[in-house]
Structures are given as C-alpha cells and as structure tokens.
Amino acid sequence: MTPAEVIMTAIGLALFVLAGGCYGGLYAAAMLRSSRRLMGTAFASYAVQLGLTVLVWMYSNLAMSWKLLILASVLGYAFVPVVTWRYMHILHRTGEQTT
C-alpha cells in the first residue's frame, strides 16, 4: 500500500467501528425511550457503517481476505446490539421476578 492508502484505510476502519458504536448506543437509547427518531438515527449510523464498508472495499488495497472479514464483522455489528438488548430484557424481566 502507498503511504496515503495506509492512512486513509486506517481512518476508514476507525470510522467504521465508531459508526458501529453509534448504532449500538443509539439503538439501545431508542429502545429505552421507544423513540422512533432515535431509532432512525441509529439506523442512519448503521447505514454510514455500511457505506464505509463499501468505501473500504472499493478504494483500499487491503487483501481480499481482510475485506471479507470486514464484511463479516459488519453483520456482527448489526446483530450484537439487537441480541444483547433482547437478552438483557428477558434476563431482567425474569431475573427481577425471582429476586
């Protein structure tokens, strides 16, 4: 990779994780407040993350294996907040009943 490509790819990956984090945090906040507006921003963050995946895929010189890994992890980012939230919810509902 050229020096500029190294830097741009790294910044792309940082924003990729950041967008995923925003999605997770906002998703949780939206569920908490049952706010459709917050949920909209959460999905927008995830759309940004998808966009960054496309950008990294198209413009970076990362090896194909790493691009596939990024693609796989963007799916992980989609599910982790949803699964965690549901699980926390179930756990708290039953956990607080039994204690």
Partner 1 sequence: MDIQDPNFWRAGAIGTTVTMLVVLVFLTIDSMGSIRAGGRQVPNYDVINQHIGYEHNWNRGQAVPVIGEQELLFGKLYTLEEATRVMETGKLVIQTRNCMNCHTFFGNGAYFGPDLTKSWLDPAWTRIFMPMTGATTKEEAMVRFLMNPEKYPTWTRKMPNLDLTRSDAEALVAYLKWMSSIDTNGFPAKFGMAEPQ
Partner 2 sequence: MYRSQKLALRYLTAALLLFGVMTAAGLLSALYYVEPSTLYNVLDFSVAKTLHIDTLVIWLLMGFIGSVYWFLPQELEHEVEGIWLAEILFFVFFAAVLAVAGIFIFVQYGTTSESSLWLINQGRKYVEAPRWAAIGIVLVVLVFVYNVTMTAIRARRMTGILWVLALDLIPLTALYLNAFSAPTNMSEDQYWWWWLVHMWVEGTWEVLIGCIMAWALMDIFGTSRKIVEAWLYIEVMLVLGTGILGLGHHYFWIGTPDYWLTIGGVFSAMEPLPLLGMVVHAVYDAGTHKMKTTNRPAMFWLLAEAFGNFIGAGMFGFMMTLPQINLYSHGTQWTVSHGHFAFWGAYACGVIAIFYIALQKVREAEVLESRAWKWSMAMLNIGMIGMVGGLLIAGITQAFYERAQGGSTLQAFVVAAENIWFRNAMVFRLAFGIVFALGYLALVYDMLTIGKKSTVPAGAELKPA
Note the residues at the interface with partner 2 (CB under 8 A). 1-4, 6-7, 9-11, 13-14, 16-18, 20-21, 24-25, 27-29, 32-33, 61-63, 65-66, 69-70, 73, 76-77, 80-81, 84-85, 88-89, 91-92, 95-96, 98-99
CA 91 to chain centre: 23
| Least distance to partner 2, CB of residue 38, Å | 11
Residues 23 and 51: their CA atoms lie apart, in Å, by 13
Residues 66 and 64: their CA atoms lie apart, in Å, by 5
CB 43 within 8 A of CB 21: no
Partner from partner 1, partner 2, none binding residue 10, C-beta < 5-8 Å depending on class:
partner 2
Q: Kindly state the DSSP code that residue 34 receives in the 8-state scheme.
A: T
The answer to the question of residue 87 lying near partner 1 (CB under 8 A) is yes
